[in-house]
Amino acid sequence: MDWRDAEIERLSEENAALRQEITELRSMLEEQRQQVQRLEKELEEARRAGKRQAAPFSRRRPKANPAKPGRKAGAKYGRRCRRPIPERVDQVLEAELPGRCPDCGGRIEETGVYRQYQTEIPKPQVERIEFRIHCGRCQRCGGWIQGRHCRQTSDAVGSAASQVGPRAVSYAAMLNKRMGLSYGKVAEVMANLFGLQVSRGGWSQALHRVAKKAEPTYAKMIEQVRGSPSVTVDETGSHPSDEDLSLGTPAGKSADSCSGCGSTPANK
**191 within domain boundaries:** yes
- Put simply, whether the predicted model's pTM sits higher than 0.75 gets the answer no
Tell me the average pLDDT of the chain. 81
Which stretch of 16-20, 127-131, 145-149, 263-267 has the lowest confidence by average pLDDT? 263-267
Q: 157 pLDDT exceeds 70?
A: yes
Q: 246 pLDDT exceeds 60?
A: no
Q: 256 pLDDT exceeds 80?
A: no
**30 within domain boundaries:** no
Read off the pLDDT of residues 177-229 as tens digits, 9 standing for 90 and up. 999 999 999 999 999 988 899 999 999 999 999 999 889 998 998 888 888 88
Residues whose CB falls within 8 Å of the CB of residue 212, separated by 6 or more in sequence, listed in order: 265, 266
Provide the percentage of residues in the chain whose pLDDT is more than 90. 34
**227 within domain boundaries:** yes
Of the ranges 146-160, 170-184, 245-259, which is most confident?
A: 170-184
**220 within domain boundaries:** yes
**251 within domain boundaries:** yes
**117 within domain boundaries:** no
Q: What is the pLDDT of residue 186?
A: 95
The domain tally of the chain equals: 1
**224 within domain boundaries:** yes
Read off the pLDDT of residues 60-110 as tens digits, 9 standing for 90 and up. 667 778 777 777 777 777 777 778 888 999 999 999 999 888 899 899 899
Q: Is the dihedral of CA 116, 119, 120, 122 positive or negative?
A: positive
Q: Regarding predicted confidence, which is higher, 188 or 156?
A: 188
Q: Could you list the residue range(s) of the whole structural domain that residue 224 is in? A: 162-261
Residues whose CB falls within 8 Å of the CB of residue 164, separated by 6 or more in sequence, listed in order: 196, 198, 202, 206
**59 within domain boundaries:** no
